[in-house]
A and B are shown apart, each in its own frame.
Chain A
Amino acid sequence: MMGKNSSACSFEEKESDKSLSVAGRRIGSLVRQLAATSMEGQADRDGDLRFQPTAGSAVSAFQHLEQAPEDPILGVTVAYNKDPSPVKLNLGVGAYRTEEGKPLVLDVVRQAEELLIQDRSRYKEYIPIAGLVEFNKLSAKLILGDGSPAIGEKRVATAQCLTGTGSLRVGAEFLSKHYSQHIIYIPVPTWGNHPKIFNLGGLSVKTYRYYDPRTSGLDYEGMLEDLHAAPPGAIVLLHACAHNPTGVDPTQDQWEGIRQLIRLKGLLPFFDSAYQGFASGSLDADAYSVRLFVGDGGECLIAQSFAKNMGLYGERVGALSIVCRSATVATRVESQLKLVIRPMYSSPPIHGASIVATILSDRNLYYNWTVELKNMADRIISMRHQLYDALKARGTPGDWSHIIKQIGMFTFTGLNKDQVSFMTAEYHIYLTSDGRISMAGLSSKTVPHLADAIHAAVLRLG
């Protein structure tokens, strides 16, 4: 046990320690500790009940651990929470806010919860490893469309997972165990958590060009070139719609070109669908890219999230679907997905999936959901226009039309790290250092403040 006043720096791992075993490092630290404490006042020890010379391990097993930095995205909210300014604005995390700046629980979600809680036949026993059967069916139908032949032919293996992250991770682990190619190509830029998920899931990560800062749009040719250069069978991560963080999506024609190339090269598409219905307001339109690929009969993986489109963020609801060439393969694939899931968390949480299943299976609730969904999407689109107009009104230098061209929750402003820091320091506006702002966190009241901040940042540090 270490004395109360012992400073951590006395026990920093020395360079020479790194080559030692755990025990060796501990002995090294112990020696330094004894040297240090012998110089400290005896009073410290005597008054300190925690110092137990007889404790087997006088030195922590965790000496060699460093403090990890805050997650770059979730850390923005941490910093925002600490700020006492009354005008602070959180445009970091992609969580929808109302015009009043409040989190929103959808009416249909509340109604579904009421139904669930009143249903006396419900209990809380473990659900199957691959999740609620009804939820899985409805999720697959939602993304693939009614009457999708892949579903009709039973070629889709679906497992309920912990929202987008969990679906991607389970998919990655499955591929690293059962697929011959362990390289995944991700777009530049992409959601910050993607490379970590895939690395820890056992895949190695390469990139393909995606965002063109000169046009604030898609580098289509660069994308095709990089995918063309990929080894056969390589996995390709595609944002189904509302690319995060740029908001730049391929057009329908571009999707067709991408599809043809991917099929030509025998690459394996892995869709991340986190915004179905939330991007354009239409569930079908936002599923276009996925359905285009599945429609050609080929295979793909799809990670679905209900965090945004049903506002179920904290409930962690999502699904991984693997569209296979045949029903027999799909059955075997599903059985192996269970072997990935069981040692990770045994089976997924019931609550969020029950809410989703309740809504998707009830005509009225489903319809009302689509209305609420469209309202959210429309509000965000309106914020885009308001921000664009506000910048034009201020005469802020630069072409800001990408704000209204980009789609989904986020705008890639094009602001650099220094400009972002300036906006945080001077205007108490919190966003990720890549210049991404969550439009969902804006309101008509706060748009002027943001426009002022951007204007000042561009002028000061343009």
Chain B
Amino acid sequence: MAVIDNSQLSLCQKKFDGLRVGYAFAKRKSSSSLKVKSVSRINMALATDVSRFEGVTMAPPDPILGVSEAFKADTNDLKLNLGVGAYRTEDLQPYVLNVVKKAENMMLEKGENKEYLPIEGLAAFNKATVELLLGADNDATKQGRVATVQGLSGTGSLRLAAAFIQRYFPGVQVLISSPTWGNHKNIFNDAGVPWSEYRYYDPKTVGLDFEGMIADIKAAPSGSFVLLHGCAHNPTGIDPTPEQWEKIADVIQEKDLTAFFDVAYQGFASGSLDEDASSVRLFVARGMEVFVAQSYSKNLGLYAERIGAINVVCSSSDAAIRVKSQLKRLARPMYSNPPVHGAQIVANVVGNPTLFDEWKSEMELMSGRIKGVRQRLYDNLSAKDKTGKDWSFVLRQIGMFSFTGLNKAQSENMSNKWHIYMTKDGRISLAGLSLSKCEYLADAIVDSYYNVS
């Protein structure tokens, strides 16, 4: 029991002479775990019972993650969740990769301890991740020119880089594609980094507005950062061709800009780790300094483990050492050091040749299923759309997502009438689609596209 006796009271009162003690706390029934004796000589109550957070407004649901919430609330049998980019099997079940299960069993058997990782993360993971990204024989790695810090998947790695840009390049802006992943803007906003957009998606062709992209990048102030999706652009699925990547690199070099790659789908897009990293490797081979945020959410199915990395390829090993030290300094007041579990899984899979090969097969399977679904959807759309509209962009787009070209109202019709949940920008996640549902989806798209404006 906590009681303040009279001698302490007078001590308190002496200190607080002149203070208006007209406040009284609203009497609360004491909880079973605690008894507080009220003190009659001091009336402790607030002038008001109102919360100091009364003015906090209700935040809207996240546009992407909120879709799953809406889907869960729907009781209709035909419902389909094409919102979040999380891979599902043909039976629309979540998928834990076999290599992940094997790695976790190995880890449990080894009896790894749970000590703090260094701020920069698990050394074995950092080594593996940069080799995956740049290739095992890459000069930049051999020369020690890459600063790598384990991050909280793609988001966390982007945020670390954004905080770094805010501190060491204050006022410098990041150019982001129009459209881009919805959370990019939030990350740069919260980090205090100004951003502007470069043209990217051309709704007329449902393809890349390459000229607009180049023009906007050329017009950027010197020293700006340009955020590029390494492969499988989210949300459009539209990637530059290798020739176009060369041109983009030319412009970035000419204008003294810095490329900042978001690589969330390496291996998942085409099925090949090397092919999906070719854009990044092209830039690095030219000796350019680049930032690269990586995620293992999709390609190793480690979504909830939050495992990724921020890599900064510098022009010298000395710069890399300094950059890494400053990245650590930003991570420490954010979460001190990163979580160990996901990092161990990646390190175990990549470090074990058998598991590594098996992983590549599983990635081919996953990306293969998505390509199969694209084909079926395209076939269905072509059959059901009697106007002869060209739906082949569904086949040309790459990765988990397809930008259907549906607008907000049409996307809402998909949910309201057809119980198909997607983001309002017209993006559907093919990872959440099965072959058996393609026909239903095609019906819904055709209906929404033509009957809703």
**Which residues of A does B touch, CB under 8 Å?**
1-2, 8, 21-23, 26, 49-50, 52, 55-57, 59-69, 71, 74, 78, 93, 95, 103-105, 109-110, 113-114, 117, 122-129, 145-149, 162-163, 165-166, 169, 173, 178-180, 193, 196-197, 199-201, 221, 224-225, 228, 233, 252-253, 255-257, 260-261, 263-264, 266, 268, 284, 288, 291-292, 294-299, 307, 311-316, 322, 324-326, 329, 331-333, 335-336, 338-340, 342-352
The digit string for B11-37, where 1 denotes a CB below 8 A from any CB of A, is: 010011001010101101111111010
The smallest beta-carbon distance between A144 and chain B, in angstroms, is 8
User: Contact: B335 with A163, CB < 8 Å?
Assistant: yes
Q: With an 8 A cutoff between CB atoms, is B216 at the interface?
A: no
Q: With an 8 A cutoff between CB atoms, is B172 at the interface?
A: yes
User: Contact: A126 with B303, CB < 8 Å?
Assistant: yes
Which B residues between 27 and 56 are near A, CB-CB below 8 angstroms? 28-34, 36, 42, 44, 46, 49-56
User: Contact: B289 with A325, CB < 8 Å?
Assistant: no
Question: A200 CA to B164 CA in the complex, in Å?
Answer: 12
Q: With an 8 A cutoff between CB atoms, is B86 at the interface?
A: yes
User: Contact: B114 with A57, CB < 8 Å?
Assistant: no
User: Contact: B53 with A123, CB < 8 Å?
Assistant: no
Interchain residue pairs with CB less than 8 A apart (30): A1-B315, A56-B255, A57-B253, A61-B223, A62-B289, A65-B319, A68-B326, A69-B325, A71-B332, A123-B95, A128-B65, A129-B65, A145-B31, A149-B28, A162-B336, A166-B336, A225-B15, A263-B23, A264-B21, A295-B33, A313-B115, A333-B56, A335-B58, A336-B59, A343-B159, A343-B186, A344-B155, A346-B153, A347-B65, A348-B306
User: Contact: B94 with A324, CB < 8 Å?
Assistant: no
Q: Interface size of B by Cβ–Cβ distance < 8 Å?
A: 116
User: Contact: A349 with B342, CB < 8 Å?
Assistant: yes
User: Contact: A260 with B31, CB < 8 Å?
Assistant: no
Tell which of A193, A261, A312, A346 has the most Cβ of chain B within 10 Å.
Answer: A346
What are the residues of chain B within 8 A of A315 when measuring CB–CB? 114, 339-341
User: Contact: A314 with B28, CB < 8 Å?
Assistant: no
Contact A349:B304 (CB < 8 A) given known A95-B115, A149-B28, A316-B337: yes
**Which residues of B does A touch, CB under 8 Å?**
2-4, 8, 12, 15-16, 19, 21, 23, 25-26, 28-34, 36, 42, 44, 46, 49-59, 62, 65, 84, 86, 94-96, 100-101, 104-105, 108, 111, 113-119, 139, 143, 152-156, 159, 163, 168-169, 172, 183, 186-187, 189-191, 222-223, 252-256, 258, 286-289, 297, 301-306, 312, 314-316, 318-319, 321-323, 325-326, 328-330, 332-342
Question: A435 CA to B28 CA in the complex, in Å?
Answer: 43
The smallest beta-carbon distance between B98 and chain A, in angstroms, is 13
Contact A256:B3 (CB < 8 A) given known A1-B315, A146-B33: yes
Question: A147 CA to B31 CA in the complex, in Å?
Answer: 7
User: Contact: A349 with B169, CB < 8 Å?
Assistant: no
The 8 closest A-B pairs by CB, nearest first: A56-B253, A314-B340, A345-B152, A325-B51, A350-B304, A343-B186, A162-B335, A123-B94
